[in-house]
Amino acid sequence: MSARDAAADYVTRGWAPIPVPWGTKAPTLHGWPELRLTPQTLKDYFNGDRQNIGVLLGQPSGGLVDVDLDCPEAVLAARHLLPDTGGVFGREGNPQSHHLFRCPGIKTTKLTALDGEVLLELRATGTQTVFPPSCHPSGEIVEWVCDNAPVEIEGARLTRLVGLVAAAALIARRWPTHGRHDAALALAGALRRAGWSLDQTVLFMRAVTEAAHDEEVADRVRAVKDTFAEGGATTGWPRLAEILGRDVVGRLRDWLGGQSHAHEGAENAKAEAGSAAANTTVAAPTIQYAPGELPRNLDEAESALLVRGGVYQRGSLLVRVARMPETRVTRSVRRHGGSNDHPAR
């Protein structure tokens, strides 16, 4: 199919195609964001020569959005965490890197790793993506994997899901070579404390292990089930910060949030896992006091503060939470090495 034929097809779908130079991804036509082609004006912009074809996303194309998976880890995680949709395309070296949805009103979002590298981008109004049958700058042809109608999805839900995919990709990049069972226990404990269900956590763990090329999936799933079977305390965010890095955990808590939410339904064959927030901001942590368990509650609260930087106001003082290097007795209270301390600053 030629670029002109593809453009004509896209116009009939209610999409807004634009010309892009062959082998590139960036349009050069002046005023391209305002271009709206019709069957009558197509020939003025697509003359039969080799051209790439871009599609304006968001409002110009009826709410069409593109989840552009920029790294291999995000592509693998998306297999578990994004719902099925009728529009998926890519190229030979990355065949499922673009997932199309209908989501009117959603804004463009770019989620990056700590070094600034883009993990994925949710493209909407004001952006464009090069569609089949264009030529990628690598020389590979952009091709459809599934060329059917994109699924319509609510904006808050799609925002949550792309946050999950980015979080799984980020974890996969820091997934340790050794001690992966401990990492799985810590991740499962953190998500359990955040209110996730067993099924949600198992699904997310599968996404992480596939993205990290961790072949011991059964062991990681067993770590999740063991964590949820335990009635007592488990490892969680502080331990995960020790394994993956405090900077990573801070970013994860932005994307994952701290609240549970319902499953998407069995008909999707994919459960949703993660934050119920409609955006990627972090809700303030909630500390629940259980009668008779004040010491444990206090340690859990200080552990959460430790992960978030460890400084808070206590009366008229600024207090920094730290780990005690050794066991000591203060006012007849024994606090063991490794427990939380709160020296004044």
Which residues fall within 8 angstroms of residue 209, CB to CB, at 6 or more apart? Answer: 175, 216, 217, 220
Question: 293 pLDDT band (50/70/90 cuts)?
Answer: low
Q: Where are the domains of the chain?
A: 3-153, 175-268, 294-341
**Tokens coding 4:** 């002109």
The per-residue DSSP string of 45-111 comes to: T--SSS-EEEEE-BGGGTTEEEEEE-SHHHHHHHHHHSPP-SEEEEETTEEEEEEEEE-TTPPPEEE
Above 80 in pLDDT, residue 59? yes
**Tokens coding 18:** 């634009």
Tens-digit pLDDT profile for residues 102-111: 999 999 999 9
Tens-digit pLDDT profile for residues 84-105: 999 999 999 998 999 999 999 9
Q: Which residue has the higher pLDDT, 325 or 178?
A: 178
Tens-digit pLDDT profile for residues 175-224: 999 999 999 999 999 999 888 999 999 999 999 999 999 999 999 999 99
pLDDT number for residue 253: 85
pLDDT number for residue 87: 96
pLDDT number for residue 2: 87
